Amino acid sequence: MTRAAEFHVPLATRRSATGIPTGRLALWWVLASEIVIFGGLLASYVMFRLHHPHWAEEASHTNVWAGGFNTFVLLTSSLFAVLGHQAAEHGDGTRAARFLKLTVLGGLVFLGVKTVEWSGEISHGFTIYRDLFWTFYYTATGLHGLHVIAGMIVLWLVARDAGRGKNLHRVELIGIYWHFVDAVWIFLFPLFYIAR
Amino acid sequence: MAEADAQSFWSRYLFSTDHKIIGLQYLFTGMFMGLVGAFLAYVFRMQLAFPGAHVPLYGVVTPLQYNALVTNHGAIMIFWVAMPILIAGLGNYLIPLMLGCDDMVFPRLNRLSYQIFFLSAVLILVSLFVPGGGFGGAWTAYPPLSASAQYNHTPWGAPLWLIAVALEFVAFLLGGINFITTVMNARAPGMGPLQIPIFVWMVVIASVVFMASVGPLVAGAIMLLFDQLLGTHFYDPKAGGDPLLWQHLFWFFGHPEVYVVLLPALGIVAEVITVFARKKLFAYKTILYTSFATGIISFFVWAHHQFVAGIDPRMAHLFTITTLIISIPIAEMTFAFIATLYGGSIELRTPMLWALAFIAEFLIGGVTGIFLGANATDIYLHDSYFVVAHFHYTFFPIAVIAGFAAITFWFPKMFGRHMNETLGKIHFWGTIIPFNFVFIPLFVLGAAGEHRRIYSYEHFSQLFTPGLQNLRVLATVALVVMLLFQFVFLYNFVRSWIAGEKAEPNPWRANTLEWAAPSPPPHGNFAEMPTVYRGPYEYSVPGRPLDYWPQHLPS
């Protein structure tokens, strides 16, 4: 299937009329489209929340400590992504790969904590059907979790390439994406866990 | 290109990363889906004109089937015909050519977007044949009807339909990112923002509007899917949900969507008119700024779909005002086109006929929109056939008329051959005249109070008078005539592709860069990247022997 022609790279892929690298430009547009997806979901949630005072009582059953720890984990993993980008800037692929793998580890810890958290909540009867608050809670955090998983997969692939010294510019791109995932969590945490 | 010829049939035509092949794939998929959507329309129009009769090629229509037919006609015609033809098909084909580069900036992402789109098209067709039948909750999919199989009786059809629509959104999001990035980064040297042809600008603005508006609906679609499959209660009032939430999320996308497909259509008309009037496009910058304005204002009009859904009357006034305001930029563009025609030396070739028809027919669509945008009149006309006629007078010019204008205009570029002019003109008149006979009766019916989405009017004595029933029959007969004339186009298309008269690289004597490439353009489009020296619309410049001045020729 793959032939020499597959690797005929069009000139367009290398042009940069704006001066911004094409990959970074596209990534910001991807993030823009992601922002409106989460924005739609969270705006709906906030509108409902304003009309349902009893949600505060429901929200008090969320595990603030687990959420807080997860916030800390994600922020730390973002730091590793930044350090990886710094290493890639200096052309040190192996070091960048190491930091990216640490970032993936942060994502794994995040998901592990979330698994414990969810299973505890479900076993205490706070299922997705209990109340609309919980429906929103599982939908929003689940969608965010999917983004974490997708980010981890891409991080791993980029780390593998970077370890071989290939495509070092992608380290920065996946870093930007990871910061976005982080930023979404920064919104989710107060909205679902802390707000009373 | 030697290495391009060496590829196998599969990698060259089905898994190609070449933007032209992908554009044609979108175009052909859209044309095929257009036939499917037209067939659905034919079936339910026959049912309305001759209730309970045996429809040729289909059989007897049951109420549930009728709902599925109407729903999927709407969804297919918008998401699988208008968008792939106008935005993805022509956008993919023309954007790199008009910018003077050899491909999109992400060729493989482009291929991926078509593959996802193809999958979604297959899914929507499959959803018509699953147990329980196709989804029948109207293309707007309002809950609670769409949210639970106990109401809509389509346990398979509804989720499949929703997943197909969501996949289509993903495909166009990827494609849109590609378009925007390409236009920002891959322009030929010398091509500043004001040397970009209007069509490219329109596709880019449409992509941005689509990207910004589709997000909330994707979130809403996830919630609706949860309601359908898991039995949650996002949209169920008895458990604290709110069906109106869906209407807001949907129309926050759905109304900008109208402008998403309108803008590329206006872009096509701009390109065609300026070439065939041999005159500089009037007010290039103004058209550009008004299309920006259209894109921005389109985000503030969505609630005019909920005037009878119990929104606050003060809110309704606000949305009435914004809805009337959005007609201003569109009207301005129409005036700019008319001013372009004024004093031009007009050649009435087939593409020009389509472009002129677009202006005339779209005008009717736009003016009747004023009736519906004003909340006082909308309370009477809401969900009547007046609405149906109004949006067909907008969408038909957008998708079909502008689509034919574009196909007939760029056909020589795509296949290196001319289409037959006589057959083209027969097809044009055979489409335009019946089209008006289909939808003008529907305005009358709607004003008489005929409601949408009613399977048979036999049970409503005041709507089953001979006069109204004759109008339904007239509309149906005109529709059948119009559909028969489409086969003239298909014959013309295929025959011209195989044995049409050979075309020059620049048969219309146009300025934009795509005509500087050979016809059909090879893999890589240009021998070398052209340099742009001037704007795209320098026609009939005084003091030049030729009446056109291509963008890439040095002074």
Each residue of A127-175: pLDDT tens digit?
888 889 999 999 999 999 999 999 999 999 999 999 998 888 899 999 9
Q: Which one of B178, B232, B252 would you mutate to disrupt binding with A, by most A Cβ within 10 Å of its Cβ?
A: B232
**CA-based nearest residue in chain A for residue B233:** A132
Contact A43 B213 (CB under 8 A): no
Residue B469 near residue B83, CB atoms below 8 Å: no
Contact state of B252 with A40 under an 8 Å Cβ cutoff:
yes
Taking 70 as the pLDDT cut, the residues of chain B under it are 1-7
Q: Does B204 touch chain A (CB under 8 A)?
A: no
The chain B residue lying nearest A28, using CA atoms, is B177
- pLDDT per position as a tens digit, B53-109: 999 999 999 999 999 999 999 999 999 999 999 999 999 999 999 999 989 999 999
Interface test with B, best of A6, A37, A129 (most B CBs within 10 A): A37
Q: What confidence score (pLDDT) does residue B239 get?
A: 82
Q: Rounded to a whole number, what is the distance in Å from the CA of B184 to chain A's nearest CA?
A: 6
For residues B302 and B247, give the distance between their C-alpha atoms in angstroms, rounded to a whole number.
9
Buried b (16+ CB within 10 A) or exposed e, A91-107: ebbebbbbbbbbbbebb
CB count in 10 Å sphere of residue B418: 17
Q: Is the pLDDT of residue A10 over 60?
A: yes
Q: Distance between CA B132 and CA B129 in Å, rounded?
A: 8
Which of B218, B231, B529 lies at the smallest CB-CB distance from A37?
A: B218
**Nearest CB partner across the interface for B185, out of A16, A37, A47:** A16
Q: Is the predicted pLDDT of residue A11 greater than 90, yes or no? A: no
In 10 A of CB B502, how many CB atoms? 10
Please name the member of A8, A10, A12 whose beta carbon is closest to the beta carbon of B3: A8
A17: enclosing H helix or E strand: none
Measured CA to CA, the distance from residue B93 to residue B90 in angstroms comes to 5
CA–CA separation, B350 vs B174, rounded Å? 34
Sorting pLDDT into bands at 50, 70 and 90, what band is A5?
Answer: very low
pLDDT value of residue B267 = 96
Amino acid at residue number A29 = W
Q: CA-CA distance, B29 to B79, in Å (whole number)?
A: 12
Q: Do A37 and A186 touch, CB atoms closer than 8 A?
A: no
CA dihedral B146, B150, B151, B154 (to 10 degrees): 60
Task: Find the farthest-apart pair of alpha carbons in chain B and give their distance in angstroms, rounded.
Answer: 75
Task: Please report how many Cα atoms fall inside a 13 Å half-sphere around the Cα of residue B66, on the Cβ side.
Answer: 17
pLDDT at B222: 93
DSSP, collapsed to helix, strand or coil, labels residue B92 as helix
pLDDT at A2: 40
User: What is the reported pLDDT for B7?
Assistant: 60
Residue B100 distance to chain A (closest CA, Å): 9
Taking the C-alpha atoms of residue B424 and residue A170, their distance in angstroms, rounded to an integer, is 50
* A135 min Cα distance to partner chain B (Å): 7
Q: Do A15 and B185 touch (CB under 8 A)?
A: yes
What digits encode the pLDDT tens for the residues B266-284? Answer: 999 999 999 999 999 999 9
CA of B216, closest CA in chain A: separation in Å?
4
Tens digits of residue pLDDT in A41-97: 999 999 999 988 888 888 888 999 999 999 999 999 999 999 999 999 998 989 999
DSSP B298: G
Angle at Cα A188 formed by Cα A182 and Cα A192, nearest 5°?
A: 155
Cα B109 to Cα A175: distance, rounded to the nearest angstrom: 20
For B167, residues 6+ apart whose C-beta sits below 8 A from its C-beta are B116, B117, B119, B120, B123
Q: B269: number of CA atoms within 13 Å, CB side?
A: 33
Residue A17 has what pLDDT? Answer: 82
pLDDT for res B523 = 84
